[in-house]
Structure 1
Amino acid sequence: MTAAETPATALVVDDDEAIRSMLTAVLSNESLTVTTAANGQDAVEAFRQHHADVVLMDIRMPKMNGLQAMKAILEINRSSAVILMTAFAEIATAVQAVKDGAFDYVIKPFDLDEIRLLVRRALEISAMRADIASLRRELSDRYGAEGILTANPAMKDLRQTIAKVARSQATVLIHGESGTGKELVAAAVHYGSPRATGPFVRVNCAAIPEGLLESEFFGHEKGAFTGAATRRRGRFEQADGGSLFLDEIGEMSPGLQVKLLRVLQEREFERVGGTEPIRTDVRVIVATNRDLEAMVREGTFRQDLYFRLNVVALKTIPLRDRREDIRLLADHFLERFAADNGVKLRGFDPAALECLEAYPWPGNVRELANAVERAVVMSTTSAIQPEDLPESIACGSTPVFEAHPLGADNPIRPLREMVRTFESHVIQRALAENDDNRARTAAQLGISRRALLYKLHDYDIS
């Protein structure tokens, strides 16, 4: 018989033999396996030997009363549901017992249908809690710190730190270069925490227009502004009971920084156009690739908000500093993208692996993932070949955008062809450094966003 088919168990405790017999018959008809005890002392011993899912127990009994027995039973196993049976004069005592951990109470003389209903509800809630605990373990195993693939000692230390931090309620600041897995770290913090079964809501602060940021965060009331046809719940409300991940926090405007600070301090906010405070139970995790301390000194980021966010700081490690992970991650991405595309591949040709391991990966893990995905799509053999990799990954040599255009590694070709190759590589690197944000990429390159879009199309850069 499987665990799912194992019948639920009940322990009936009362010094009245007639009540014990009656409840045994009722619960047996509900397909429960029932044991009985005549006093609190015997009940604790019986429970110690066979943990019952539900305990029905009188409060007034010889040797040890029901309240004392309940305390001892819950110390053995807090997941069991204790239902107390009490006389009308003892209701205040029973109510206090519920506050102390009892599932519920019934007043004698009780209705048998009420007993059946209470027991069914207790078992349903117990099953839900078991399912939630199982789901939390599964999420933690899959997305928690142990799900971060690495053979690098520093990354292993970071993984251990993430597991410790996850168990707390502390606000977390993750900083590191673009493409180093800051969102993966944030997810590991969430899914390794007691909030794992709650929502994990992501917001890219750089991807939302300035005028919509406040509404995006806090929601808005109907009619709050032109176009606000209905009430909208913001990200803080959506993340209630879980975690809110704010990526690129350094892009947040000073005005919104003030409002975020207030939420972190007071745990409440108002929707745009609203006046009623809304309480929130959210763990905030933020990430940035910018130097927030320098921004504080420059006056572009609030010092008080920085201190509030920087409770626990985690720093991701560039891929160039964890080169032993290149092959490990490449194999992982190959397996994933081959499955996504319905392609059967036995791995990387040794020459292709040499290319991957020689490349400096300015775009970090994200660039590696993109390179492997492209190789899977382009492959025509049973293994990834060097020619399947992006042109920017020049095997064993310095990438074009880091070399002199007329260096020995770059033989003379038609000028237009060399310029196009160089420009394509520069744009790809800028995109990687700016987390694929096209507006910031265009600004960094000193061209208009429209010009960038034209070049992306012209060079077939996705």
Structure 2
Amino acid sequence: MTRVLVVDDDPVQLRLTAEIANRAGFKPITATGGEQALAILRDDRKVGAMILDLVMPDLDGMGVLEVMRREGLTTPVIVQTANASLETVISAMRQGAADYFVKPVSPERLIISLRNAMKLETLEQAIRAEHARKSGAFTRSDMIASAPAMARVLALSAKAAKSTIPVLIEGETGTGKELVARIIQGTGERAGKPFIVVNCGAIPPNLVESVLFGHRKGAFTGAHADQAGKFAEAHNGTIFLDEVGELPLDTQVKLLRVLQEGEIEPLGATRPEKVNVRVISATNRRLLNLAKSGEFREDLYYRLNVFPIYMPPLRERREDLANLIAHFIARFAAEAGKRVLGISPAAMDLLAAYDWPGNVRQLENTVYRAIVLTDGAFLETQDFPQIVAQAEGREEVLRAIAQAEMPAAPVHIDTAPARTRLDPVLPPAPDRFVSETGELHALAQIERAAIVFAIDHHGGRMSRVARALGIGRSTLYRKLHEYGLAEGLISDAA
């Protein structure tokens, strides 16, 4: 759930704004002053947006914006104030505010502003990541990798960046192995230096040596001039050998010499040339199995596999799915010139239940296709027909398409109905402590509901339930008997 920081010294306005954000599906964090807001932003760089009051006693809103600009805090800011002067609006926008409104503001206006600000921030992050990738300064903060399965990958990448040790990245196709290689380069001493990518499986066998090591004029028919190879282009930088297991055996011998001696021998050259290159290789097949079968030189395998990193598939890092989808929606919607705000809950559930055999690359192409197909503000289930077909069958695709709103005949512009719009404000959630008659529930009833919720949340694991509730297991079992919950639960937990 995206966090929203609400900053206001008025406790009533603070509570109202936070409640609007909460009902819209955001997780509000509150602060009563500018200094407190800055402290929160410095500690948590993943706050989605901030709603900032301009007039506050300790540090006003303009001061907060100035400090954020000076310290490089990029959280999008929506300014609210009781002062509607044009000068104030211009000053706030110049300081970097994404939006501005005057109190009191309608809930619909606030929610739309929040969504637009977060979409803008997602797009800016995508642009920053692309710029970092091209400039050779790509870091772990530029990659969407908050899933627990990615923690070891990022930790190993940070260690590999501190040396020039050969790195082998193994993982299924489309998982993002090249991005890991760019993190290693972008956080090490070779940041900003050349990063040369070579797809070893896409080079014709008769041209592999020429592409990698270069050639001299007249070395073979058609060699009309000297040509530097990829290793020479990567001098003082990094070379990324993608699908290194596809290299021919005779080329593997020369690659082994490069790794051992740090020198290349272009075709037709009379003497070798020294190169200073960091080698990072990747493969979607187990090199150890290829070495055992004789398809890959065993000595080269041990030379490349000095520092192995395994890249988990997307199905093992589903926690990143929502952020990846939001990233691709912002990026491709901007490229296609469409106003797509997000994805519907039903479509999100569909994508979350899919196994993604093509991993992040397949997800990227799927979202791109959906952006092209959609005509609405949110991606719907019918925008992913291929995923529906693979998950639920062809009949479900036809049913989803048939249910989509589509005119049966041409509709004249004068009689065209208004487009159905989603209500941005969710219905108010019932108060857990107040009954329908407005009376406060008894303490025992509230405690019973908390125990039932904890049991359901932790899947009946009584040790976890007791730990979460802050009571001992004996006390928990006593309360289960007291509230008539013991039958069936204790036997299931055992």
1:141·1:147 contact (CA, 8 Å) conserved in 2?
Answer: no
1:359·1:399 contact (CA, 8 Å) conserved in 2?
Answer: no
Structure 2 partner of 1:265: 260
The total of aligned residue pairs comes to: 268
2:136·2:191 contact (CA, 8 Å) conserved in 1?
Answer: no
Structure 1 partner of 2:236: 241
1:310 and 2:301 aligned: no
Moved over 2 A (4+): 137-142, 397-400, 408-412
How does 1:186-335 map onto structure 2 within 5 Å?
186-335=181-330
1:254·1:301 contact (CA, 8 Å) conserved in 2?
Answer: yes
- Displacement of 1:145 in angstroms is 2.1
Match of 2:164 among 135, 155, 169: 169
Structure 1 length-normalised TM = 0.55
Q: Matches of 2:392 and 2:233 in 1, distance apart?
A: 44
Give unmatched runs, 5+ long, in structure 1.
1-136, 413-462
- Displacement of 1:190 in angstroms is 1.1
Cα deviation, 1:134-170, whole Å, max 9, x if unaligned, reads xxx9679962122221231120221122112112111
2:240·2:279 contact (CA, 8 Å) conserved in 1?
Answer: yes
Structure 1 partner of 2:391: 398
- Displacement of 1:285 in angstroms is 0.4
**AA matched with 1:393:** I
**AA matched with 1:288:** T
Q: Matches of 2:392 and 2:150 in 1, distance apart?
A: 26
2:175·2:312 contact (CA, 8 Å) conserved in 1?
Answer: yes
Q: Matches of 1:155 and 1:315 in 2, distance apart?
A: 10
1:172·1:311 contact (CA, 8 Å) conserved in 2?
Answer: yes
Q: Matches of 1:269 and 1:387 in 2, distance apart?
A: 54
**AA matched with 1:167:** K
**AA matched with 2:193:** G
1:359·1:394 contact (CA, 8 Å) conserved in 2?
Answer: no
1:148·1:159 contact (CA, 8 Å) conserved in 2?
Answer: no
Q: 1:249 to 1:138 in 2, by over 3 A?
A: closer
- Displacement of 1:388 in angstroms is 1.5
Structure 2 partner of 1:378: 373
Structure 2 length-normalised TM = 0.52
Structure 2 partner of 1:345: 340
2:168·2:306 contact (CA, 8 Å) conserved in 1?
Answer: yes
Q: Matches of 1:192 and 1:263 in 2, distance apart?
A: 24
Cα deviation, 1:60-91, whole Å, max 9, x if unaligned, reads xxxxxxxxxxxxxxxxxxxxxxxxxxxxxxxx
Percent of matched pairs sharing the same residue: 46
Q: Matches of 1:409 and 1:388 in 2, distance apart?
A: 13
Cα-Cα RMSD: 2.3
Name which one, 1 or 2, has greater alpha-carbon Rg: 1
Secondary structure of the structure 2 residue equivalent to 1:149: coil
Give unmatched runs, 5+ long, in structure 2.
1-130, 400-494
- Displacement of 1:211 in angstroms is 0.3
Structure 2 partner of 1:387: 382
Q: Matches of 1:138 and 1:371 in 2, distance apart?
A: 25
Cα deviation, 1:362-419, whole Å, max 9, x if unaligned, reads 1000000000111111110111111112x22018x7365xxxx9xx97999xxxxxxx
Q: Matches of 2:143 and 2:159 in 1, distance apart?
A: 15
